[in-house]
Amino acid sequence: MQEGYLWYELIDGVKGEKGDKGDKGDPGDPGAPGAKGNDGAPGAKGDKGDTGNQGLQGVQGNPGNDGAAGAKGDKGDTGNQGIQGNPGAKGDTGDQGIQGIQGVPGTSNFCINVQALTSSPADSATIYFGTLPKVPVSTGGQSKIYIRQACTLKKVEIYCYSGTAGTAEAWSLYVRKNNTTDTLIATLSVSVSERIFTNAGLNIALVSGDYIEIKAVNPLWATNPLTTIFGGYLYFE
């Protein structure tokens, strides 16, 4: 057996009991920094931040150069009517004008038309008509033409047309005033369809409130006129 080997066995044989735990040693010095790690993966997109405060107004820029004139636009629609303005102050009274030349006095001449609807005159009847569009009636005071100013009836012209002329017995028309006084217009004794009763020489004085009618006195005809219609006018001064 070699000498070294024997020494080892002798030392192993004399190993004592385990000693008590020693005191904790002082901390060691910091180690050197490790190598830089790889970049991490991008994080998720964050929420939208609150609106920031309004920034300060910037300095006004210099005016730009005038641009070229644009094409003429279409005519605009008519605007709404404006609000009526307040009345202006009343002007001063003007000087009195020169008096004009006196005018020629006016006249009060006028006409009134008369009429009657179609009828067939009866023998020996007395009939009346005025301005109303109706057939003649046999009672006075129902076809009144009222007079509204003082005047004089100067002329009457009554046109009478019959579809059948009838015979030539005397037929008379009158102006009847206030259903009491008669003035003859004309008496015709003709056998024609057109009979014109006219009188330009009348002078019947009237006042406001009087009334007149046209009165016809029919004869006893051998052959009566048929489908007869009256129309005409009265002329007043």
For 67-93, write each residue's pLDDT tens digit.
676 677 677 677 677 677 677 677 676
CA angle, 203 as apex, 231 and 136 as ends, to 5°? 25
CB 169 within 8 A of CB 189: yes
pLDDT at 214 over 70: yes
Q: Which residue has the tokens 């109303």?
A: 132
Q: What is the pLDDT of residue 76?
A: 67
Q: Which residue pairs from 19-23 have beta carbons closer than 8 angstroms and sit at least 24 positions apart in sequence?
A: none
pLDDT at 126 over 70: yes
Taking only the tens place, the pLDDT of each residue in 20-79 is 676 776 776 776 776 776 776 776 886 786 776 776 776 776 765 766 766 776 776 776
For the chain, domains (ranges, CATH) are: 110-236 (2.60.120.1400)
Residue 166 backbone class (left: φ over 0; alpha: ψ -120 to 50; beta: rest): left
pLDDT at 132 over 60: yes
Indicate the SS3 state at residue 58.
coil
Helical spans, DSSP H, in the chain: 3-13
Indicate the SS3 state at residue 105.
coil
